[in-house]
């Protein structure tokens, strides 16, 4: 792979020279037989199917269950790259928690004029029910999945702060398991930091956030919408790995001011709920009255301090795309330091000058819905047809406040294995961050998502993205 | 354990047991169809009746050919008791209780579902039927082996076993119910070859045709077979065997939880009607009445267990 790379390739940089972090892997790969690797790749798929690591795609009744394609070439980060990244993430996540506590209590940042009031007050993700309340341990975002993209040797950007219910950690764990099974010799040769402690740390972190009335061994439950949810595999996987109960809303009710689950021996109290349903569905008495997924009355129990809900209701205001552009200010406001990690340049289309700029440069920009997720409702300018651009421009003009725009990033690439050779594909990274009163814990690495189609920038699993094992090397 | 989990385990194992039972019924029916083509139609009809899907079948077909019956019982998704539907339901329940299962059990169930979905994607030709039925049986054995070999003997195991034996008791009782007239001691065709074929079919439907012979009952008699299927405590599909398994597993639960429920009494009452009993007294009571009452009781027991251990919403 010698020559000029238009995009920064994490294996071979811009000029085709293998970077240090990949040197040992590259040597190993050069000795491998392509046929054997193809066979291994098929084995991995069989393994994923057999163990049921599958997901459902919304709006697709056929092909009910799909696999997230797994690529066998790891994404490798040097210890020193990771240390810097982790520091930046920790700073940002700490700021997010301080921001949430402030927004729901004294609102200093609004009074200081660093974040405009209307962005909070008029925001669906802001929950007035949380005002004047402090959750157990003062933790709002127990689990965060900070999406990071890279454009060059030292250029990392935060793309999104997923502060609600970030998913994907089960894939991170299973990807490593798969790699260990497929290529044990590789791990003997190259020292990679383990990720397998995550479930144990998650349990410990959630337990540390239990209400003060809970005993020394708090009961933890994962709340899932059920077996037809696209992320059900992950819900059951995490419950299993943590030794927690896996519950649905109808297993729970309020008993004597606590949340209790219906067991074969009557109702039993639970202390911490790791919920994998949205705020809106949590409590039909407080939020969406149609919700069948939540627990009627849970918000009263919560406000009485008798249950921990992770992440806290209303935490979504921190990862709202309209708030995102203020994040450097938010970090500075609460930590007194400059943000270590950069934001991607962002135009808020609600601002008149910005709207004009975005309309004029639509073909070069990525435009996102403020409340969208999973890559839906998003325009990738360079990949769009003239007609698509025109249609989107109309939508933008009709509701400019609904959109933000960002430049098309030159996302870094990592090679994937295609039948016989290595081919560069764009990637992002989602490290997983645990927050408790005892501190912030980040699993080394995270989930690398890769856009499998040549040239594509969309890494979402619902739209043709795959995953890779992510290695942080030991020094 | 969550009530929902107990329910999921119970139903998962009922469905898995049902898969195997349907395969066995088809196998017995297919044998008759091959060897005695004149009896085929009525034999297939009783297979459909025994499976408890007569109404659904009759709404779709007006004859009982082996092609139609086999298709309906194996791969018709509109039939909630077809192998394909039941395998899917078993796997859905396994997903629901994933955290209660060992990797081995989960993978066995998931593999069963993948294998059977693929196997039953297209109509099964008669020449392929034996191997398809064989695969269904093998997959069943795989799940059972994983259960026995890897699961802790705790409440999870108890609920799994209770589901298995409620379903099995119901199945054996239905087979006797549909064929009870061939088992009466004084039917008109005693000793005829028709008898032998019918009896053998009944025994095959519960995989007991060889064990019956092993036990040295040199002569096949109606009362001998009825005795075997209802009262024999060595036969793993007899009513007596099933109910004593249910009673033991319920007892383990009572011991574990320190609490007895209405279902415990109910199960013991059903068991007491089979204990120290000889087949003659059952014939005196009326075989048909006895079996009908048993089916009713075993189903009420199932419901009582569901409510005592809070399976439902």
Contacts of B155 in chain A (CB under 8 A): 264
- pLDDT at position B295: 96
Q: What distance in Å separates residue B244's CA from the closest CA in chain A?
A: 22
Mean pLDDT of chain A: 92
pLDDT tens readout for residues A125-164:
999 999 999 999 999 999 999 999 999 999 999 999 999 9
Residue A414, token pair as written in the block? 């990592």
- pLDDT at position A54: 77
Q: What distance in Å separates residue A273's CA from the closest CA in chain B?
A: 15
The chain A residue lying nearest B114, using CA atoms, is A50
CA dihedral A234→A240→A244→A246, nearest 10 degrees, is 60
Contacts of B259 in chain A (CB under 8 A): 265
Q: Contact B98/A240, CB-based, under 8 Å? A: yes
Cβ-Cβ contacts under 8 Å for A180 (sequence gap 6 or more): A187
Give the confidence band of A1 by pLDDT, cuts at 50, 70, 90.
Answer: very low
Phi then psi for residue A16, to 5 deg, are: 90, 0
Q: Contact B2/A261, CB-based, under 8 Å? A: yes
Contact with chain B for residue A61, Cβ under 8 A: no
Q: Contact A52/B95, CB-based, under 8 Å? A: yes
Give the confidence band of B217 by pLDDT, cuts at 50, 70, 90.
Answer: low
The chain A residue lying nearest B93, using CA atoms, is A227
Q: What distance in Å separates residue A263's CA from the closest CA in chain B?
A: 4
Give the confidence band of B78 by pLDDT, cuts at 50, 70, 90.
Answer: very high
The chain A residue lying nearest B106, using CA atoms, is A51
- pLDDT at position B194: 61
pLDDT tens readout for residues A382-425:
888 999 999 999 999 999 988 999 998 899 999 999 877 899 99
Contact with chain B for residue A262, Cβ under 8 A: yes
Residue A280, token pair as written in the block? 């809106």
Q: In whole angstroms, what is the distance from residue B108 CA to residue B144 CA?
A: 9
The chain A residue lying nearest B102, using CA atoms, is A240
Interface test with B, best of A228, A264, A292 (most B CBs within 10 A): A264
In the sheet that A245-247 helps form, which strands lie side by side, from edge to edge? A245-247, A220-223, A272-275, A308-310
Mean of the pLDDT values across residues A203-218? 95
Q: Please give the interface size between A and B, counted as residue pairs whose CB atoms are below 8 Å apart.
A: 57
The full set of domain ranges for chain A reads 345-408
Q: In whole angstroms, what is the distance from residue A203 CA to residue A239 CA?
A: 9
Contacts of B95 in chain A (CB under 8 A): 52, 227, 232, 236
| pLDDT higher than threshold 70 for residue B307 | yes
Residue A160, token pair as written in the block? 């999104």
Nearest to A245 among B2, B111, B257 (CB): B2
Contact with chain B for residue A217, Cβ under 8 A: no
| pLDDT higher than threshold 80 for residue B185 | no
| CA end-to-end distance (rounded Å), chain B | 15
Contacts of B96 in chain A (CB under 8 A): 227
- pLDDT at position A143: 98
Give the confidence band of A62 by pLDDT, cuts at 50, 70, 90.
Answer: very low
| Sign of CA pseudo-dihedral A370, A374, A378, A379 | positive
**Higher pLDDT pick, B187 / A90:** A90
| pLDDT higher than threshold 60 for residue A238 | yes
Q: In whole angstroms, what is the distance from residue B37 CA to residue B51 CA?
A: 21
> B287-308 vs B155-183: helix axis angle to the nearest 10?
160
Contacts of A250 in chain B (CB under 8 A): 4, 313
Q: In whole angstroms, what is the distance from residue A365 CA to residue A369 CA?
A: 13
Q: In whole angstroms, what is the distance from residue B4 CA to residue B10 CA?
A: 10
Q: What distance in Å separates residue A181's CA from the closest CA in chain B?
A: 16
pLDDT tens readout for residues B112-164:
999 999 999 999 999 999 999 999 999 999 999 999 999 999 999 999 999 99
| A45-54, A105-114, B52-61, B108-117, range with the lowest pLDDT | A45-54
Q: If you write DSSP's letter for every residue of A112-151 in order, what string do you get? A: TTSS-HHHHHT-TT--GGGTT---GGG-S-SEEEEEEEEE
| pLDDT higher than threshold 60 for residue A374 | no
- pLDDT at position B195: 67
The chain B residue lying nearest A241, using CA atoms, is B99
The chain B residue lying nearest A246, using CA atoms, is B99
Give the confidence band of A265 by pLDDT, cuts at 50, 70, 90.
Answer: very high
pLDDT tens readout for residues A459-470:
887 778 999 999
- pLDDT at position A64: 60
Nearest to B114 among A49, A246, A262 (CB): A49
Mean pLDDT of chain B: 91
Q: Contact A264/B96, CB-based, under 8 Å? A: no
Contacts of A266 in chain B (CB under 8 A): 310
| Topology of domain A345-408, CATH | Dna Ligase; domain 1 (3.30.1490)
Cβ-Cβ contacts under 8 Å for A227 (sequence gap 6 or more): B92, B95, B96
- pLDDT at position A61: 46
Give the confidence band of A340 by pLDDT, cuts at 50, 70, 90.
Answer: very high
pLDDT tens readout for residues B33-56:
888 777 788 889 999 999 999 999
Contacts of B114 in chain A (CB under 8 A): 49-50
- pLDDT at position A419: 77
Length of chain B (residues):
313
Q: In whole angstroms, what is the distance from residue A65 CA to residue B114 CA?
A: 12
Q: How far is CA A432 from the centre of its chain?
A: 7
Instruction: Give the predicted TM-score (pTM) of the model.
Output: 0.90
Mean of the pLDDT values across residues B80-109? 95
Mean of the pLDDT values across residues B282-292? 92
Note the ipTM here. Answer: 0.85
Give the confidence band of A300 by pLDDT, cuts at 50, 70, 90.
Answer: very high
Contacts of B111 in chain A (CB under 8 A): 50
| A107-111, A349-353, B97-101, range with the lowest pLDDT | A349-353
| pLDDT higher than threshold 80 for residue A43 | yes
Contact with chain B for residue A264, Cβ under 8 A: yes
For chain B, percent of residues with pLDDT exceeding 70: 95
The chain B residue lying nearest A261, using CA atoms, is B2
Q: Contact B95/A266, CB-based, under 8 Å? A: no
- Can you list the pairs that B266-271 forms with residues at least 24 positions away whose Cβ atoms lie under 8 Å? B266/B297, B266/B300, B266/B301, B266/B304, B267/B243, B267/B301, B269/B297, B270/B243, B270/B294, B270/B297, B270/B298, B270/B301, B271/B243, B271/B244, B271/B247
The chain A residue lying nearest B305, using CA atoms, is A264
Nearest to A264 among B92, B110, B310 (CB): B310
β-pair partners for A146:
A161
| pLDDT higher than threshold 50 for residue A76 | yes
The chain B residue lying nearest A51, using CA atoms, is B107
Contacts of B4 in chain A (CB under 8 A): 247-248, 250-251, 262
- pLDDT at position B187: 56
Contact with chain B for residue A240, Cβ under 8 A: yes
Phi then psi for residue A409, to 5 deg, are: -80, 145
| pLDDT higher than threshold 70 for residue B23 | yes
- Can you list the pairs that A67-71 forms with residues at least 24 positions away whose Cβ atoms lie under 8 Å? A68/A171, A68/A461, A68/A465, A68/A466, A68/A467, A69/A452, A69/A466, A69/A467, A70/A44, A70/A45, A70/A175, A70/A178, A70/A466, A70/A467, A70/A468, A71/A416, A71/A417, A71/A450, A71/A452, A71/A466, A71/A467, A71/A468
């Amino acid at each position: 792979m010698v020559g000029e790379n238009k995009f920064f390739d994490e294996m071979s940089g811009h000029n085709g020279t293998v970077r240090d972090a990949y040197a040992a892997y590259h040597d190993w790969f050069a000795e491998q037989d392509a046929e054997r690797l193809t066979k291994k790749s098929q084995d991995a798929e069989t393994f994923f199917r057999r163990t049921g690591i599958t997901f459902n795609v919304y709006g697709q009744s056929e092909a009910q269950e799909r696999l997230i394609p797994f690529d066998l070439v790891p994404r490798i980060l040097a210890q020193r790259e990771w240390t810097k990244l982790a520091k930046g993430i920790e700073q940002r996540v700490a700021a997010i928690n301080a921001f949430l506590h402030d927004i729901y209590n004294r609102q200093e940042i609004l009074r200081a004029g660093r974040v405009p009031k209307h962005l909070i007050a008029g925001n669906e993700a802001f929950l007035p029910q949380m005002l004047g309340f402090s959750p157990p341990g003062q933790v709002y975002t127990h689990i965060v999945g900070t999406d990071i993209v890279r454009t060059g040797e030292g250029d990392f950007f935060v793309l999104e702060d997923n502060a609600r219910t970030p998913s994907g950690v089960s894939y991170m764990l299973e990807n490593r398991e798969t790699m260990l099974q497929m290529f044990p010799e590789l791990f003997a040769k190259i020292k990679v930091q383990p990720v397998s402690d995550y479930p144990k740390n998650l349990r410990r972190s959630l337990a540390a956030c239990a209400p003060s009335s809970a005993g020394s061994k708090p009961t933890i439950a994962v709340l899932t919408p059920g077996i037809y949810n696209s992320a059900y595999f992950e819900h059951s996987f995490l419950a299993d790995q943590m030794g927690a109960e896996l519950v649905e809303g109808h297993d729970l009710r309020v008993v004597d001011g606590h949340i209790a689950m219906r067991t074969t021996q009557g109702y039993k109290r639970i202390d911490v709920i790791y919920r994998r349903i949205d705020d809106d569905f949590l409590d039909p008495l407080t939020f969406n009255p149609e919700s069948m997924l939540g627990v009627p009355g849970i918000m009263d129990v919560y406000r009485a301090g008798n249950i921990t809900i992770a992440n806290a209701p209303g935490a979504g205001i921190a990862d709202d795309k309209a708030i995102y552009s203020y994040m450097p200010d938010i970090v500075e406001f609460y930590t007194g330091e400059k943000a270590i990690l950069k934001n991607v340049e962002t135009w808020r289309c609600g601002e008149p000058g910005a709207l004009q700029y975005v309309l004029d440069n639509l073909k070069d920009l990525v435009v996102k819905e403020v409340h969208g997720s999973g890559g839906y409702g998003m325009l990738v300018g360079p990949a769009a047809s003239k007609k698509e651009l025109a249609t989107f421009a109309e939508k933008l003009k009709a509701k400019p406040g609904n959109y933000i725009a960002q430049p098309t990033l030159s996302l870094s690439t990592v090679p994937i294995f295609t039948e016989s050779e290595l081919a560069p594909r764009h990637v992002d990274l989602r490290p997983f961050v645990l927050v408790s009163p005892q501190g912030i814990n980040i699993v080394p690495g995270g989930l690398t998502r890769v856009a499998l189609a040549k040239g594509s920038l969309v890494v979402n699993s619902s739209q043709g993205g795959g995953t890779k094992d992510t290695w942080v090397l030991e020094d | 354990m969550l009530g929902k989990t107990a329910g999921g385990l119970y139903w998962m194992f009922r469905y898995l047991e049902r898969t195997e039972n349907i395969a066995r019924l088809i196998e017995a029916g297919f044998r008759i169809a091959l060897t005695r083509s004149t009896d085929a139609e009525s034999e297939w009809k009783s297979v459909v009746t025994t499976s408890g899907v007569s109404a659904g079948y009759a709404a779709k077909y007006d004859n009982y050919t082996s092609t139609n019956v086999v298709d309906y019982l194996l791969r018709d998704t509109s039939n909630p008791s077809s192998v394909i539907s039941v395998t899917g339901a078993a796997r859905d329940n396994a997903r629901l209780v994933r955290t209660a299962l060992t990797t081995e059990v989960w993978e066995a169930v998931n593999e069963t579902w993948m294998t059977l979905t693929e196997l039953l994607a297209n109509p099964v030709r008669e020449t392929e039927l034996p191997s398809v039925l064989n695969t269904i049986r093998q997959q069943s054995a795989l799940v059972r082996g994983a259960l026995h070999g890897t699961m802790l003997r705790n409440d999870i195991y108890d609920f799994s076993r209770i589901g298995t034996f409620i379903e099995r008791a119901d199945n054996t009782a239905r087979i006797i119910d549909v064929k009870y007239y061939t088992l009466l001691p004084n039917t008109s065709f005693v000793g005829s070859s028709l008898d032998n074929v019918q009896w053998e079919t009944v025994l095959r439907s519960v995989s007991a045709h060889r064990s019956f012979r092993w036990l040295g009952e040199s002569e096949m008699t109606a009362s001998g077979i009825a005795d075997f299927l209802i009262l024999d405590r060595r036969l793993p599909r007899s009513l007596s065997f099933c109910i004593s398994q249910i009673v033991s597993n319920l007892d383990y639960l009572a011991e574990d939880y320190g609490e007895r429920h209405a279902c415990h009494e109910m199960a013991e009452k059903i068991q007491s009607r089979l204990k120290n009993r000889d087949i003659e007294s059952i014939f005196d009571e009326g075989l048909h009445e006895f079996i009908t009452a048993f089916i009713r009781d075993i189903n009420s027991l199932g419901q009582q267990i569901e409510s005592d251990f809070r399976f439902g919403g």
